[in-house]
Structure 1
């Protein structure tokens, strides 16, 4: 390129840049002449909410309990003697026995004959001392004569006459009569164990023998369970235990059958389950259609709380506060003290009477949020 053409090139570049600058400034000037359209202000939307007016009062509390029924009386049956068995009814599971009914008898022939032999020996011993009694102890002879006259080896033995003095007592003892007497009394007591009576009304839940079987001493015969009265073992959290006391009523119901039963708190265990931190509460109940093993639920009458209000659990924030409406326009977060949790409600204290408690579900609620109160009802 020649030196002559260089200035022309530079001049062309300068002219191009000048044209671009003039065009840009012109565009800015024209843009400044155009007015922006006015912006519309979007009004803030205020949510309409509902509230209840707080009135503190005395609230009687209930405690939810649940558990399975167990028979109050249930015992295992053992044999204290051995021999062949005869049952009054089929000794089978589910057989009912009333209190005092004969459940079974063990053959006592051998034991009875042994007692009769012992009584005969005692009878001979008494008869042998009668001549000596008549001579040496005439004042006691009539009593012994009457005793000998009424002595019956087939009837329970009667108490021997009391000695009139120390000499007579030693005389009787020297003939070994008292030892024979107490041996017979012991055998008669054992003879009573050959018949098994029902200690209470109930049904057999297990049966280990049949009619005609030969049993041994100490053998398990079965299990008898009382009907009509049951206990329900409920587990109550340690934090809720102070609401219960023995004697309190419990309304019970079943989810499987119709009916409602009234029970009473009979006992409260002193032991705490270390894993669940719960305590066993025993509720006694009786009634028709109850069976061992039934699962029941209920409400136990607990202590009354004063100066509190019961609200829905959904209204509680972080278990420590609730939203209230101040001056019908502003949400405020108020602290509360939880006195008791229920299944769907919670009992709290710390709210002044007249507080307008928020009951609406407000999305994104926060302390200081502006709202509009729709209506208020008493709580």
Structure 2
């Protein structure tokens, strides 16, 4: 048993001596005992460059009709005429509906006849007054009667006009809510009328952009129903008040809609172009995020890497603005960033 343990010890000592000899041999082969230089890491690089950047604000908006009303009955009466073809375009002044107006027409005719007779009597009294054949008081009384009847006639004609419902502006009729011949109450909705030849777009913009907003700025509108179509418009109005809850300002834009493809109530994607300027840009995949900071790997003239912190600005798909930390022409790593660190030597690949 003792001999067996002795053999194991001798074997381990021999192995240790062989390993020490190997290390000594390797040291003798390397000049001055230094290790050979590490192999360069293959990466892909590019240069930070000045490029034009259009600063944009993206928002969700809602489509609104340029003008929109509900056409309602002014009094309770039978609906004797209905000219509503749903979805039809109408012109301002077109008759949409008419209520039973027989009584109003008779009242107007009665007052017109009464006014004619009173005016005839007034002219006769004026002639007599000119020759002092009648008292001035009788002339004044007759003038009062004429004025009273004239006021009653104007009121009756106004009520008669209200029995006919006309389009107040050019637009498109909506769905009808009543049928011809029905008895409807005052205030009943007959149909709707919308002017959508120009569509208003309501959206909110964060308050930090308010200094850059102005009436007339171009806007681009999109909708999921028309995936590859951009509708061009402009800002029409900016609310003077800031919403204290959302800290945003309400903006109205307008877009031409003569083909009526956009409709009120649509959810719209809105892009507002604020400014166009030249800025320093780098590919987005050059960034190395660390906690709340952003870094890039800059390549020096000796092909060695230095990781530096940068301050970023606006982002667009695939690119990011560098506000501070880089200069135009600086070489940075865009592929292989995970394989390098400060002090590493790199080799470039196409």
**What TM-score comes out, normalization by structure 2 length?**
0.76
The answer to whether the aligner puts 1:310 opposite 2:285 as a matched pair is no
Which of 196, 203, 223 is 2:172 aligned to? 203
Measured in 2, the distance between the counterparts of 1:295 and 1:66 equals 7
Deviation at 1:298, TM superposition (A): 4.9
Deviation at 1:54, TM superposition (A): 2.7
Unaligned runs of 5+ in 1: 1-16, 139-166
User: What is the aligned partner in structure 1 of residue 158 from structure 2?
Assistant: 189
Which of 87, 106, 117 is 2:110 aligned to? 117
Deviates more, 1:245-254 or 1:319-328: 319-328
User: What is the aligned partner in structure 1 of residue 319 from structure 2?
Assistant: 345
User: What is the aligned partner in structure 1 of residue 77 from structure 2?
Assistant: 83
Q: SS where residue 348 of structure 1 aligns?
A: strand
Matches within 5 A, 1:213-362: 213-257=182-226, 258-269=228-239, 270-272=241-243, 274=245, 277-287=247-257, 288=259, 290-292=261-263, 293-305=265-277, 308-318=279-289, 320-323=293-296, 324-327=298-301, 328-338=303-313, 340-350=314-324, 351-362=326-337
Deviates more, 1:103-112 or 1:92-101: 92-101
Deviation at 1:301, TM superposition (A): 1.9
Q: SS where residue 359 of structure 1 aligns?
A: strand
The answer to whether the aligner puts 1:64 opposite 2:58 as a matched pair is yes
Measured in 1, the distance between the counterparts of 2:168 and 2:96 equals 10
How many pairs align? 327
Cα pair distance change 1:186/1:289, threshold 3 Å: closer
Deviates more, 1:279-288 or 1:33-42: 33-42
The superposition leaves residues 186-221 of structure 1 with CA deviations (integer Å, 9 ceiling, x where unpaired) of 222222112111122333333221111222322222
Given that 1:320 and 1:337 are in contact with CA atoms closer than 8 Å, whether structure 2 keeps it comes out as: no
Deviates more, 1:310-319 or 1:201-210: 310-319
Matches within 5 A, 1:82-161: 82-89=76-83, 91=84, 93-137=86-130
Cα pair distance change 1:252/1:219, threshold 3 Å: closer
Deviation at 1:57, TM superposition (A): 5.7
User: What is the aligned partner in structure 2 of residue 149 from structure 1?
Assistant: none
Unaligned runs of 5+ in 2: 28-34
Cα pair distance change 1:102/1:174, threshold 3 Å: closer
